[in-house]
Amino acid sequence: MSANIIDGKEFALKVRTRVAEQVTILKADHGLTPGLAVVLAGDDPASHVYVRNKNKSTLAAGMKSEEIRLADTVSQEEVLAVVERLNADPSIHGILVQLPLPSQVDETAVIDAIDPAKDVDGFHVVNTGRQAVGLDAMVPCTPLGCIMMLKDQLGDLSGLNAVVVGRSNIVGKPMASLLLGENCTVTISHSRTKDLPAVCRSADILVAAVGRSEMIKGDWVKPGATVIDVGINRIELDTGKTRLVGDVCFSEAVEVAGAITPVPGGVGPMTIACLLANTVTAACRIAGVSEPEIG
């Protein structure tokens, strides 16, 4: 039996369309144009591509987009001054500082300086803490996209066994917290986990956020499980060309799982869509208006 392939591109398009509709209503009813600022320091080529895509998507949704490019030699004080200016700017509701930052800049200090209400990446400890105790929070975009796809696929997640492989602050931990919030029985596994294949085989929902090409094999997957592959790994082919693969061995897992996200075209497209959705949420909370319901 072959799994249902979860189409992240199509799902992300639906989310982006809904966000654009919400923006239209916010402008018309409240004179509110959500604004997202992205700060990029340094010359990392991948970061430049991400930031360009974010800028294009933000404008396409009808929002204000501001891009601040800083030199690779920028000082910590200069980055903090930019964040302070954006915190005080009433036309900006979301601030994203593209990571990694140049080595002379302390990432934690920069994230701590962002107004938690404008922290659309959901990395500020205030948002991490609020999410952990079940209060309204800005939720990191990648786990948010994963939970949206899971709910769309499975409906009620209550009582399901969920295994998250990876415990990073930006994916693994918030993912586990969101699954717990949906009443799953959650296991977080990592590099010290004993008998990882057996742990994975217990999962009705298996989320892989490891950063190791095709590490999770088909026989680690419980028949019928829903598999969400967050990993993005570039591998070199014999031809010298490169290809993106996930943390799950897709060709094997697709024969066992009930549903699975591909790489590329699964979780990736949802991340930017959720960034736009978070910016609308932030704008509404800051302005004290409720988020427009669509359809």
Q: Which residues are catalytic?
A: 54, 98, 121
Does 268 interact with ligand NDP (rule: CB under 6 A)?
yes
Q: What is the DSSP string of the chain?
A: --PEEP-HHHHHHHHHHHHHHHHHHHHHHH----EEEEEEES--HHHHHHHHHHHHHHHHTT-EEEEEEE-TT--HHHHHHHHHHHHH-TT--EEEEPSSPPTTS-HHHHHHHS-GGG-TT--SHHHHHHHHTT-S-PPPHHHHHHHHHHHHHHS--TT-EEEEE---TTTHHHHHHHHHHTT-EEEEE-TT-SSHHHHHHT-SEEEE----TT-B-GGGSPTT-EEEE---EEEE-TTS-EEEE-SB-HHHHTTT-SEE--SSSSHHHHHHHHHHHHHHHHHHHHHT-PPPP--
Between 17 and 169, CB nearer to ligand NDP: 169
Total residues contacting ligand NDP (rule CB under 6 A)? Answer: 24
Q: Of the ranges 34-42, 89-97, 225-233, 278-286, which one interacts with ligand NDP (CB under 6 A)?
A: 225-233
Q: Which of residues 152-171 bind ligand NDP (CB under 6 A)?
A: 165-168, 170-171
Does 111 interact with ligand NDP (rule: CB under 6 A)?
no
The residue from 63, 175, 209, 280 that contacts ligand NDP (CB under 6 A) is 209
Q: Of the ranges 9-17, 28-36, 100-108, 230-238, which one interacts with ligand NDP (CB under 6 A)?
A: 230-238
Does 230 interact with ligand NDP (rule: CB under 6 A)?
yes
The residue from 62, 80, 199, 211 that contacts ligand NDP (CB under 6 A) is 211
> By rule CB under 6 A, what string of x and - marks binding of each residue 75-104 to ligand NDP?
------------------------------
Binding site for ligand NDP (CB under 6 A): 142, 165-168, 170-172, 190-193, 196, 209-212, 230-233, 267-268, 271
